[in-house]
Amino acid sequence: MSSRLCIGFDADDTLWHNENIFENVHERYYTLLARYHDAATVERALYETEMRNLELYGYGIKGFMLSAIETAISLTDGKVGTGEIRDLIGLGREMLDHPVELLPHARETLEILAESHRMILITKGDLRDQERKLAKSGIARYFAAIEIVSEKDKGTYERILARHGVEPRLFLMVGNSVKSDILPVLELGGLGVHVPYRITWGHEQAETPTSEDGRFYHAASIRDVPQIVSRWG
């Protein structure tokens, strides 16, 4: 076991933009189905389908598109045309081919921290898509290990830390999701830095901790993380 602080980083909406891509496609999806239902009805039905399918499809664009097609068929009583289905598949292809855009100050923050800390990237989602984004991002070299997982809960973090010989009390996780990046790590006895993104998917919403004995910190920007790490160190 190392006696040094190890830093974990989430990827989507912590290091690079992700939810804004879904936001744009949602708007186009509502427009495509506008002659059948209003946007609020479509949004509600799509979310319900996603939640129902989550255990089978997991997270990511491919699962989202399967749920979007299923929702379109259901909401139109099967009247949605092959052309509209083709358009939906096209939206999914656009999402998968979207450029990877790092958030402001992400690269410089990693450069600063990598000089003196061991870092692990921990992200959930579709393996192939996450590998693609990581390759395009150009930031893999800052991490001692890459972990792409299907879920981020207490058990997942426990296994990752054990595999890499990291004590929970010496592990600090940085991420935009309180539910996935912060709460499970705090439960293990680790440290958490919440760096919010402007959009939070409904499934990732959770109440922010108010006090965790100095183990939780809220950062306005990722550029604040080195200072927080230095303070804890």
Please report the domains of the chain, with CATH numbers, ordered by start residue: 6-16+101-232 (3.40.50.1000), 19-96 (1.10.150.240)
Q: What is the percentage of the chain residues whose pLDDT exceeds 90?
A: 87
For range 162-177, the mean pLDDT: 96
Which residues fall within 8 angstroms of residue 37, CB to CB, at 6 or more apart? 45, 75
Query: Residue 211: is its pLDDT beyond 90?
Result: no
Average pLDDT score over the chain: 93
pLDDT at residue 3 in the model: 60
**Contact at 8 Å (CB) between 100 and 133?**
yes
**Cα distance between the two ends of the chain:** 17
Query: Residue 209: is its pLDDT beyond 90?
Result: no
For range 71-82, the mean pLDDT: 94
Residue 47: Cβ-neighbour burial (10 angstroms; 0-12, 13-18, 19+) = middle
Query: Residue 120: is its pLDDT beyond 70?
Result: yes
Which residues fall within 8 angstroms of residue 213, CB to CB, at 6 or more apart? none
Confidence of residue 87 (pLDDT cuts 50, 70, 90): very high
**Contact at 8 Å (CB) between 129 and 16?**
no
Query: Residue 1: is its pLDDT beyond 70?
Result: no
Cα dihedral value 14, 111, 129, 200, nearest 10: 0
Confidence of residue 85 (pLDDT cuts 50, 70, 90): very high
